[in-house]
Structures are given as structure tokens and as C-alpha cells.
Amino acid sequence: MEAPTILVVEDDSGIRQGVVDALTFAGYTVLSEPDGEAGRRTALRASYQLLLLDLVLPGCSGFDILAALKKERAGQPVIILSARGEEADRVKGLKMGADDYVVKPFSVRELLARVDAVLRRTTERPAAVNGHAVNGAEVDFSRREVRFPNGERQELSDREAELLRYLVAQAGRAVPREELLRQVWGIDPKNIETRTVDMHVAHLRQKLRCEAAVVTVRGKGYMISD
């Protein structure tokens, strides 16, 4: 599996280089920028899985970058790199969509633990998906319907549409039932015995008129067919 790419936007050259070195040594691919303007451009254009973002930057602030991400790359995982006296700013950053923060000065061990935790948590975060093609039919998620080549239409329930959207966003991997319960139903799967996921998958297959549209991966969960 390809190593995740992490973007570091930090104006303090010593801190920036230390973070880059630690992440590189840990096996990550690292991009870095020394100021707000360059950081904003790269944050909006580059391909990466996590942003480590200082809030006080020359050019434009970390808050400006967070606002731009919320508008153009909603859901982008971000960890704030914050000075100890900036508690109000950390709270503001979290409210603007950041996933976590690390207080300066921080240890390499703490930083890597926070990075690992956010990456594991946000691998479940679905990308934006507007449509999907299956067996000649077209799924329109905005209308929650399936359009067949003969002109027929089949309506999906809100839950069915969200379940299918999530599976499509996670194409290429089997999604555990527990993850689907968390992300689609908002249920903590611990100590819960339920067949609701299986029942909704069965309904989806019927409505899509394709048994192979959603594949059961024994012992792992469900995945969308290629």
C-alpha cells in the first residue's frame, strides 16, 4: 500500500524541518510550505491525506487556509500545530473543521501518535460522490433514484442512497458492517446484534436489479463491485 502523503505548513524553519524529518523517517511522503500563501495554494491543489497546519503564518493565516479548505475541499483531515497560549484559537480551529491539535513544543512520539490516529479515523470519511453506474443503470444520489436504460426509474430511500454512496466512495476495499453502522446509521456497533445492514444491502440489490452490485466479502463486510 502506498504511504500516505502529509502536507506540513509551518513558518518556523526549525520546527518545519523537524516535523518533515520525523514523518519521513516514519515512512510518510511529506510536502512542506513555509508561509500562508504557498501553504494555501498547495493545500488546495496538491494530493495529500493529511495537513499539519500552523495557525500563525505570514501571508495568510491558518484560519484562512481552513476556511478555503471548508469551501473547496470539505472533509480534508487537518491537525493544528498550536502554541501553548492559543487555546481560543485551537477551539476556533476545531470548530472550523480541524480534526485535532498538537501543542508546541511537542515530542515526535506524540506527533506521530496523533497523525496515526487521525489517518486511521479519517480513512472512513467518504469522498463526495454524485452518481454511480451499475449494470447499465445510472444512480443519481441527489435525486435518490436509479434510472434504467429502458426509461424506468426506481426510488431509493434516504438510508439506501447513503449506504450505496458510502460503499461507492470506499470502492476497492471491503467495508465492515461495524463501520457502516457508525458512518451511515450513526450507531455505536459495540455490543449490538443487528441485521439492518444486511437487510438494506438485500434491498439495494433488488432495486438495482443486480445481485452482484454489492459484493459480500466473507468475514470482512461489503464492497461495491467493479
- Which DSSP string do the residues of the chain spell out, in sequence order? -PPPEEEEE-S-HHHHHHHHHHHHHTT-EEEEESSHHHHHHHHHHS--SEEEEESS-SSS-HHHHHHHHHHHSTT--EEEEEETT-HHHHHHHHHTT--EEEEES--HHHHHHHHHHHHHHHTTSPPP--EEEETTEEEETTTTEEE-TTS-EEE--HHHHHHHHHHHHTTTSPBPHHHHIIIII----TT----HHHHHHHHHHHHHT-GGGEEEETTTEEEE--
Answer whether residue 2 shows pLDDT above 80: no
| pTM passes above 0.75 | no
Tell me the pLDDT tens digit for each residue of 54-64. Answer: 999 999 999 99
Predicted confidence band at 123 (pLDDT cuts at 50, 70, 90)? low
Read off the pLDDT of residues 159-211 as tens digits, 9 standing for 90 and up.
Answer: 999 999 889 888 778 888 888 888 788 777 777 778 899 999 999 999 999 99
pLDDT tens digits, one per residue of 23-49: 999 999 999 999 999 999 999 888 888
Q: Domains, the chain, ranges and CATH?
A: 5-122 (3.40.50.2300), 131-224 (1.10.10.10)
How much is the pLDDT for 127? Answer: 57
